[in-house]
Every structure is written in C-alpha cells, then in structure tokens.
Amino acid sequence: MSDEFYIKRCLELALLGMGHVSPNPMVGCVIVLNHKVIGEGYHQAYGQAHAEPNTVKAVFDRYGHEAEAMLKQATAYVSLEPCAHFGKTPPCADLFVKHQIKKVVIGNRDPFSSVDGKGIEKLKNAGIEVLTGVLEDECRYLNRRFFTRIQQQRPYIILKWAETANGYFATKGGQQKWITGALAKRLAHQWRTEEDAILIGKQTAITDNPQLTAREWPGKNPIRLVIDKNLQVPLSNHIFNTEAKTIIFNEIKTDIIGHVQYIQMEDMQFYLAQKIAFQLYLMDIQSVIIEGGANILNQFLSSNLWDEARIFSSSESWMEGIPSPVINGNLKEQVQIGNDQLSIYINNINK
C-alpha cells in the first residue's frame, strides 16, 4: 500500500476525536510492518494520551514481548507532526525515538511554536528516516480549526442560517417561523456536537427562546454564547438552563453564577465581531457556529471574520420577510437535505 493510503487511514482515525479533543488537533496514527498494520490509534480526548502512544500501546497489547523488536523495523504514519514538548502528556517524538522506530511518515507540520519542526528534528537526530508532506492539504483541512486558532489567534468561525427560496431569512414581525425541515434540523444538531460553541444575539434569544443544545444527535452540547449588551434576556429562557455552559457578553458585569458566566465588554457597538473573536481565542474556544440573527451575521461578514458558511435553502417562498445576509465566498459543496438544499461556502481570503 502507498504512503497516501496509510495517511488516509490516519485521517479516518483522527476524525473519531471530533468534538472531544479541542483545543488540541485531531490526530490519527498507524504503525505498519511489512505492509501489514500492526497498530492503530488516535487522540481520543483532551488531556488524555495522544495518537502516537495509543498506537504504540496497541502494538504491545497485540504482540506482547515481540512488539519491541517489531517497532524497530516498522514505519509509523501520523497525520500531524509528533509533538516535541511536555504538555499534559510527554513528547510523542521522544516515544518514537525510545522505541527506535525505523521510519516516520507525516501528513503536515504542527504550526504550534513549541512543536513546529522540532518533532521532525528530534526524529532525524535520532537516525529515524522522516518523510513529510504526504496528503498535506487533506491533513490541514481536517485540522482547519486548530490551524486557524494558532495562526490567526481566533476561533474557526462557521456562519449558519436558513433562507426561503426567494431569499428571506426571518419574519418581519419577529414571530418564530421554521424555514427548513426535520432533516436539516437534525444535521444542525450534529454540527453542534462537533464545535466548541454556538453564538446568537439578544433578539434571537428573546424571540426564538432556543435551547442551543444537540438534543437530536448523540454527543456533547456546545458552549452557548449570547450577545446581550444590557442583560435583557429573561432568566427564565432556555439558554439559562443547566443543559450546557452559557456565556453572556454584555456591558454591565463580569460574574460567574453557577454554569452562567458574564463577561463585560466596553463599547460593544464598535468592532464587536473582532472583540468576540479575540475573547474566544483567549478562552481556548477553537470553533464557533454563529446562528444569527441577521445583524450578528452581517457584522461578522462585513468584518470578513468567517471561515465557512452553511446555508440551508428551503423550497418554500414567503410573501415578505427580512432579507438573508449576502455571502461572498467560494461555493465548496451543495447537497440535498430532504426538501432543503445545503450550500457550503469557504472564505478563501483568510487562507
């Protein structure tokens, strides 16, 4: 099998950590001897073992006392450069050096300054053959959230909304009215399990009284973020229940009451998108879904602070309503979700 084949398998394994490893990257590892996979592993949860030690352990669990000699003749494939520093776990590069792995094939380098190139250097200095850049673009795309946080000092920002066939986003009167069907809603709940946080504004919180949980898909709930300058959202609303942590950006107070955190900001009418993006970076929130309303979405669009937009288009039309935001990005994919069409746009200006 080719190097690309095994790196693809690393990516499949890495994806199993989606929603559990942030703010770490998702990483998969495969160890091969004589064209046979002798161990697989991935980074399963933040603070726990990385992909490499999980894979080495799998080899020892399977082959016992034979494992040490096998590793010395084996090739390790890993989707991201093995770490070279002590964090919550020991350096993975040191583990490969300890077991005298014969060769290491790497998808892409780690952009984190404590690692970038240092893991590769450790391996090479130990006499290990190293090959890098295999399926580099695919590996980078998998960890686009991690790369954005490290390189741009902000979270990966996903805009999400639904619009009618004739381009309306919400009712003029402020009443709640569903645009998309049940399948689109279920998919949106799956997305919530995959990202760190979800953001709405005060008006959406009051009008729709959303729960912002992933109740229709197995997995964790995202952190709920609400922009409420003057603390006008009633405490009886769903966002204050105990289903998930809630953060309220406001101009009045900084406080923590149970699972609700209040973060005071100054002059929220100026550069709000930039202020929120930087605050989330400081809090190690690596990705966020912004669900609106139109005012919040347009602030991030006009500031060019977005990476991906996921737009559901209904087959139904309304007589009147609030016009949808206008997206200016590259269409990456279109797929039919029940009676609705999902269009995914990528903002290549930030890449």
| Stretch (H or E) spanning 301 | helix 294-302
Binding site members for substrate: 192, 212, 215, 291
pLDDT score recorded for residue 4:
97
Q: What is the pLDDT of residue 80?
A: 96
40 assigned to active site: no
What was the pLDDT predicted at 350?
54
Q: What pLDDT shows up at residue 175?
A: 73
Binding residues for NADP(+): 162, 178, 204, 208
Catalytic residue among 40, 52, 81, 194: 52
Q: What is the pLDDT of residue 112?
A: 79
Rounded Cα distance, 1 and 157, in Å: 37
pTM of the predicted model as reported, rounded to 2 decimal places: 0.93
Looking at residue 170, what is its pLDDT?
A: 84
**CA gap 284, 282 in Å, rounded:** 6
Each as own residue / partner, the long-range contacts of residues 44-50 (CB below 8 Å, 24 or more positions apart, any chain) are 44/16, 44/17, 44/20, 45/17, 45/20, 45/21, 46/20, 46/21, 46/22, 47/88, 48/89, 49/89, 50/82, 50/83, 50/89, 50/92
The predicted pLDDT at position 342 comes to 97
**Domain parsing of the chain, residue ranges:** 3-146, 153-346
CA distance linking residue 93 with residue 81, whole number of Å: 8
CATH topology of domain 153-346: Dihydrofolate Reductase, subunit A (3.40.430)
Which amino acids are annotated as binding site, given as ranges? 50, 83, 92, 162, 178, 192, 204, 208, 212, 215, 291
Q: Which residues of the chain have pLDDT under 70?
A: 349-351
3-146, superfamily in CATH? Cytidine Deaminase, domain 2 (3.40.140.10)
